[in-house]
Amino acid sequence: MLEKAIYKINPKAEFTINADDIKQITWLNGTTPISESDIKAQLPAVELEIALDLLRVQRNILLKETDYLALSDNTLSTDMATYRQKLRDITKGLDTVAKVNKVTMPTKP
């Protein structure tokens, strides 16, 4: 997670971290060191990104299971269209990890 926080600040940073310990960062090849406080300030955003990524993976699996129903040679039922739309909209308005963790997937018709 620290790596992602550092890359949010400086995508070109070169460094090593020992045991994911913020006190064990070695900056390489002239990379300007980033303060611990700046790195820590990015952690909530990184945590949210990770939570949303995991939710999207789950959502994409469910969408993929019903993709064949949405092909042009099929007629998609209203219930299925609604289900798939709810899946696509599932991340809207999620701006905290707590909100992401409270999400329940819609029931497949």
Q: Are 96 and 48 in contact (CB under 8 A)?
A: yes
| Torsion sign (Cα): 5, 6, 11, 15 | negative
Quote the pLDDT of residue 80.
93
Amino acid, single-letter form, for residue 42? Q
At residue 39, the pLDDT reads 96
Of 61, 65, 53, give the one whose Cα is nearest residue 97: 53
pTM, two decimals, is 0.82
Evaluate if residue 36 carries a pLDDT over 90: yes
Count the helices and strands in the chain (H runs, E runs): 4, 2
Condensed to tens digits (0 to 9), the pLDDT of residues 54-101 reads 999 999 999 999 998 888 787 889 999 999 999 999 999 999 999 999
User: pLDDT at residue 51 above 90?
Assistant: yes
Q: Are 73 and 31 in contact (CB under 8 A)?
A: no
pLDDT of residue 11: 96
